[in-house]
Amino acid sequence: MGLTKSEIFSEEQNQLAQLLKAMAHPARIAILQELMKSNTCICGDLVNELGLAQATISQHLKELKNAGLIQGTIEGVSVCYCINPETWKMLEKETSNFFANFQPAKNCC
């Protein structure tokens, strides 16, 4: 497997790719949707809502947190997670710009 030559891409391209890669799993999409719906969540609630094992949820939460898409605070033995609003706003802006740059050609395959 070849290495990605990330240094040849812009900071914005690398950042967008990292965020989208972190989201590129159906369980992570479901977690993000639950966090958006409840506007805050404790990990145990996600286990009940999604029907996945605690260890599986924890691994996906770790990936989302490492990418900066979510943030968490420790409350006793529980960790409360929510969407990271700064990263979310930046992701919204960058994906909007990305999709807005497409201009369909009239005569294309």
Report, as an integer, the average pLDDT of 67-94. 90
Report, as an integer, the average pLDDT of 73-91. 88
| pLDDT for 1 beyond 50 | no
Q: In whole angstroms, how far apart are CA 89 and each of 33, 76, 100, 105?
A: 16, 30, 16, 30
What does pLDDT average to over the chain? 89
What are the strands of the beta sheet with 78-83, ordered from one edge?
A: 41-42, 78-83, 70-75
What digits encode the pLDDT tens for the residues 35-69?
999 887 777 788 888 999 989 999 999 999 999 99
pTM for this entry: 0.85
